[in-house]
Amino acid sequence: MTEKMPDPHPGGVDPDDCASTAHQWEIARLAEALRVDPREGLSADECHRRRLSFGPNLLPDAKNISRLRILLNQLRSAVVALLVVAAVLAMVYREWTEGLAIAVVLLINTTIGFVSELRAMRSMEALRKMGTISARVRREGRILEVPAEELVTGDIVLLEGGDVVPADIRLIEASNLAVDQSALTGESEAVDKTADGLAEEVPLADRSCMVFMGTAVNRGSATGLVTGIASNTELGRIASLVEQAAPERSPMEKQIARLGGQLVWVTLLCVVLIAGVGIATGKDWFLMIEAAISLAVAAIPEGLPIVATLALARGMWRMAKQNAVVEKLSAVETLGATTVICTDKTGTLTENKMNVKRLVSTSGAIEFDHNLSSFKSGEEQVLADGNELLREMLITGALCNRAELASGSIKGSGDPMELALLEVAQAADISRPSLDQAMKKIEEYAFSTETKMMAVSYTRNGSVIYFVKGAPEAVVRHSTAVRGPAGTAPMTDELREHWNELTQKLAQDGLRVLGLAQKSTRTQHEEPYTDLELLGLVGLHDPPRQDVKQAITASKRAGIRVVMVTGDHPATARNIALAVGLASDDTEVVQGSAISPWNRLSEQQRQTILNAEIFSRATPEQKYDLVAVYQQAGEIVAMTGDGVNDAPALKRADIGVAMGLRGTQVARQAAAMVLRDDAFATIVLAIREGRVIFRNIQRFVGYLLSCNLGEILVIGLAVLAGMPLPILPLQILFLNLVTDVFPAFALGTGAGDADILKRPPRDPGKPLVTRSIWLQIIGNGSVIALVTLLSFYLANSWLGLGGYAATTVSFLTISLAQLWNVFNMRDPRSRMLLNDITRNPYVWAALALCVILLLAAVYVPSIAMVLSLERPSGLAWGLVLTLSLVPLLIGQAGKFLSRRMAGHHP
């Protein structure tokens, strides 16, 4: 859809040309056409008006699944196909009631599946939207952070390394800008961008003054003018030509689908085998057809895919409530198998609420409290006496800065470290707006991981001043002089060693350290990082999070190693590790330079890396190699990251965890999970929830299959023994819709055992249904079948019942036995009476509902007539209740013995 401005521009420039030809326009003319002042940005009213006219900045979501597709998904399974065959067979043999009932069950099952999957899919889509990107814009002269979908044509957008470009943008200013536009153009390398316009039409890949929606800023910073949004972007034009992508299915969902398919083949084999044996031994054809229909219906756990989808969706919602937004379904099951967490320090183990604690210059060290009131240094109160060197340090920190302080109701935005530098400058009555008025800005040199510094140049008093901040060792290394109260002195080797020792001392006190420097020249556009004049060091305090120590203890108890991987100074990393209980006094810090790809490491080097608990001065490339080393050693790795260069490590990790508050948008897109609070404790909670979800799915699969196996054995053994059918096809359908599905739903909602984090991670190589679960399925199913056959036999021989009265007894016995079987799904290590199943209110609600429906099936005449049931006598009820409890008692006895043999005590 071609975007049109609300009303014609009086200058006669057609704004329709802006989107596709913006690279050929001069900035002034383009801004005039879009009616915006780049220095001020749009007003709130104008943004609202344009948003109403053009709609949100959103592309059609390829992940959205239509209602029709969800409905068709319910009809494509082998389960449905088998039930359709059973219905057709019933109709052919004039069993109209059975055929119609199977058709009704299909309708009900399809409806339940459709509604459940629709809600689950929409829930997952809503969860993904929690991680949508944001954009920093200039509106009414202020820098704001808004959701990218609220951008309009004419907005002024600020970009930094790690951002995902939120719209098509014509660059106004660009500093060391490189953009990865491979998703759009296929180029393998990041492309350098400038603000220089182009005189003629060029291919998309060569439009160096444009950045496009969906591409990623690799490095640098820029300011630009939005020229196209939504479908009017280059990405939007491509998206309109692409069909919707198939929905993602996790390995767990594939296992469940494969299991359903396998059950169909096993069912067909059983049907053929039993029918063949029956016919060969002279059994009635009609009886064999009825038995075949019963077997087909009994074998299929109709609720399996529905409950699996709901369990995943509910578990993901629980994670989201705990600030962990899962971006990829496969992450849910991998979380439960995590063995190593590689975590950053800043904002994850610490609060990321920085404040300037200490300033160090040749004048001495200045301490600040959290209110930025200066303490006395000797006899002087530094902020009060106008110390010029201190003032230059504060000016440098304020100008080498892209953060924005809070103003009125508008929140501050930007890196917490840069916000802290603005706050301490403001405490000394130094503000960036006043500095920008007093001096003229020339150029900005964005921070890069290669230089570990950033710079900005201004003209002041006829000179060009370069203001520089960065890693202290980098700033000290590039400094050739040191400024003092009496002037500058050459930077000697002794002085350089002295400043490195000061850096070490600040880091040992747990402070994050920055170096500040300046350079004065007569010419513009020089190399900013040569011949610097060191001003001093800034120590910033970032206290550890209160909940980290407990979370690390919980991780270790769960068999999960926690490793700190940070770019900070070794002493700073060690200090924080000691504070949060990650390390002990004799723990060694390994430098990131010791990390290399697996095949380049000796065995001793590998062991050093695998045994280390703290890595300092680690680069993004080294983080990537570290993940690979752990994986080669058989570990399942969760890696945290926030920068654009962390994206490869996040993708390489089994679970990439991006920071939602301070993380770049590129990192969030590369990750499998996003933390909305950046807290380490949230990772541990997510791992617990991942274990719970996987265990819940194992439980309801075990429950459904044991119930269905019981039904199969009842029919099969009865046919082979020459007995009448103890339960009829319609009764089995009723069981599968009542006693199977509702308790299975309840099992899928469990909150998990309290001790689930006291157990080691599961082996990711094991299947969903393990050997022990199969043994449990076979054991529970066999006992349920035996007590059902016994109840049918006793109803005939002892109670003297026959026909429908006898099948009513066996029907009620298997129904209640299946209901009580839900308590056999508890973990053997849990307590018999108090466990996560008995504490689950949904389990009790499901049981109550099922009992009511069973009573209705017996005592409501119309239902009883359809199901061929009769009202049982008191003696019959006594037999039913007694025998139905036997599988529960045997199952609990088995778990009791298993617990005792494992060394646990009830």
Instruction: Enumerate the H helices of 300-347 as residue ranges.
Output: 304-321, 330-335
> Distance between CA atoms of 43 and 604, rounded to whole angstroms?
62
> Distance between CA atoms of 646 and 644, rounded to whole angstroms?
5
- CB contact burial 253-283 (16+ within 10 A = b; e otherwise): bebbbebbeebbeebbebbeebbeebeeeeb
> Distance between CA atoms of 334 and 40, rounded to whole angstroms?
48
Residue type, 887: P
250 pairs with which residues across the strands? none
**Count of H helices and E strands in the chain?**
32, 24
> Distance between CA atoms of 593 and 602, rounded to whole angstroms?
15
CA 357 to chain centre: 35
Q: What number of CA atoms fall less than 13 Å from residue 510's CA on the CB side? A: 14
Closest C-alpha to 345, from 188, 566, 190: 566
Closest C-alpha to 641, from 610, 613, 606, 665: 665
Cα→Cα distances 104→471, 802, 865, Å: 71, 29, 16
Per the annotation, the verdict on 344 as an active-site residue is yes
Per-state percent for the chain, helix, strand, coil, to nearest 5: 50, 15, 30
**Which residues in 542-661 belong to E strands, given as ranges?**
561-565, 589-591, 614-616, 637-641, 655-659
Residue type, 330: S
DSSP three-state, residue 197: coil
Which position among 155, 168, 180, 344 bears the catalytic label? 344
Roughly how many angstroms between the first and final C-alpha of the chain, as a whole number?
A: 68
> Distance between CA atoms of 8 and 12, rounded to whole angstroms?
8
Residue type, 860: V
> Distance between CA atoms of 570 and 590, rounded to whole angstroms?
8
Closest C-alpha to 595, from 616, 568, 577, 576: 616
CB of 469 closer than 8 Å to CB of 475: yes
536 pairs with which residues across the strands? 516
> Distance between CA atoms of 494 and 866, rounded to whole angstroms?
98
Q: Tell me which DSSP letter residue 704 carries.
A: H
List, in order, residues 6 or more apart from 659 with CB less than 8 Å away.
344, 347, 348, 640, 641, 642, 667, 668, 674, 675, 678
3-state secondary structure labels for all residues of 612-637: CCEEECCCHHHHHHHHHHHHHCCCCE
> Distance between CA atoms of 153 and 5, rounded to whole angstroms?
9
Token pair in block for residue 631: 């994986």
> Distance between CA atoms of 314 and 302, rounded to whole angstroms?
20
Per-residue DSSP letters for 810-864?
Answer: HHHHHHHHHHHGGGGGS-TTS-SSSSTTTT-HHHHHHHHHHHHHHHHHHHSHHHH
DSSP three-state, residue 146: strand
512 pairs with which residues across the strands? 540
Question: What is the maximum alpha-carbon separation in the chain?
Answer: 115
Q: Tell me which DSSP letter residue 77 carries.
A: S
Q: How many residues does the chain have?
A: 906
Residue type, 414: G
> Distance between CA atoms of 39 and 41, rounded to whole angstroms?
6
Q: Which residues are catalytic?
A: 344
